[in-house]
């Protein structure tokens, strides 16, 4: 939209033209938008002949093509890394495991062992995970062990040594 302003300023006459761009006049600069290349429409169109697919082979044919992860018959990488297959269960509870051998080495007799103490000593990495005591190793001193879970063998060995278990 063009608007012409005129008047007298300081004794002289002036005319000024103001142009306002309208919404329907806005367009991208030349060369900013490029049309999709239409292949397979003849040699004269510039994408004919093999249409960018090369010669022969499964990838040059029509149809669904190769599945993701296919490596031409070579043993796929994912089959060599079986631990990466499947899915991760969001609702599984992961425990910080502590064995009796570690408790035997790190604690004196008649000590109350808590998850906070285990974290302070660097036996478990984080206190956000619940602690589970497993029965690997032997215990010959009485300890009061406070944890979220105990295996049956760990519970039996702690109580046989004269200690006690506290489930949190």
Residue range 96-167 forms a domain whose CATH class is alpha beta
Using the structure block, give the residue that is written with the tokens 């002949």.
Answer: 49
Count of residues in the chain: 168
Determine the Cα–Cα distance for residues 27 and 22; give it in Å rounded to an integer.
11
pLDDT tens sequence across 125-154: 999 999 999 998 999 999 999 999 999 999
| pLDDT at residue 2 tops 70 | no
- From residue 44, alpha-carbon distances to 2, 50, 79, 128 in Å are 45, 13, 46, 67
- What is the average pLDDT value for the chain, to the nearest integer? 88
Lowest mean pLDDT among 7-11, 110-114, 143-147: 7-11
pLDDT tens sequence across 26-62: 999 998 998 888 888 888 888 888 888 889 888 888 8
123 with 131: CB under 8 angstroms? no
Name the H helices within the chain.
Answer: 77-80, 100-106, 115-120, 152-160
User: Full-prediction pTM beyond 0.95?
Assistant: no
Question: Which of 30, 61, 37, 156 lies closest to 100, judged by CA?
Answer: 156
Per-residue pLDDT, 5:
72
Where do the structural domains in the chain lie, given as residue ranges?
Answer: 96-167
Question: Which of 150, 146, 158 lies closest to 115, judged by CA?
Answer: 146
> At CA 158, angle to CA 154 and CA 159, rounded to 5?
115
| pLDDT at residue 1 tops 70 | no
Q: Which residues, 6+ apart, have CB-to-CB distance to 13 below 8 Å?
A: 6, 7
């Amino acid at each position: 939209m063009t608007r012409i302003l005129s008047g007298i300023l300081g004794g002289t006459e002036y005319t000024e033209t103001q142009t306002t761009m309208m919404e329907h006049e806005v367009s991208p600069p030349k060369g900013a938008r490029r049309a999709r290349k239409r292949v397979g429409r003849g040699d004269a169109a510039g994408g004919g002949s093999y249409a960018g697919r090369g010669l022969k082979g499964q990838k040059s044919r029509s149809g669904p093509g190769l599945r993701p992860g296919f490596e031409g018959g070579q043993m796929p990488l994912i089959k060599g890394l079986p631990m990466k297959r499947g899915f991760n269960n969001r609702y599984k509870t992961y425990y910080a495991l502590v064995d009796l051998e570690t408790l035997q080495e790190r604690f004196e007799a008649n000590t109350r062992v808590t998850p906070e103490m285990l974290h302070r000593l660097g036996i478990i990495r984080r206190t956000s995970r619940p602690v589970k005591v497993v029965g690997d190793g032997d215990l010959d001193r009485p300890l009061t062990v406070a944890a979220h879970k105990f295996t049956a063998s760990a519970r039996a060995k702690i109580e046989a040594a004269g200690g006690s278990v506290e489930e949190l």
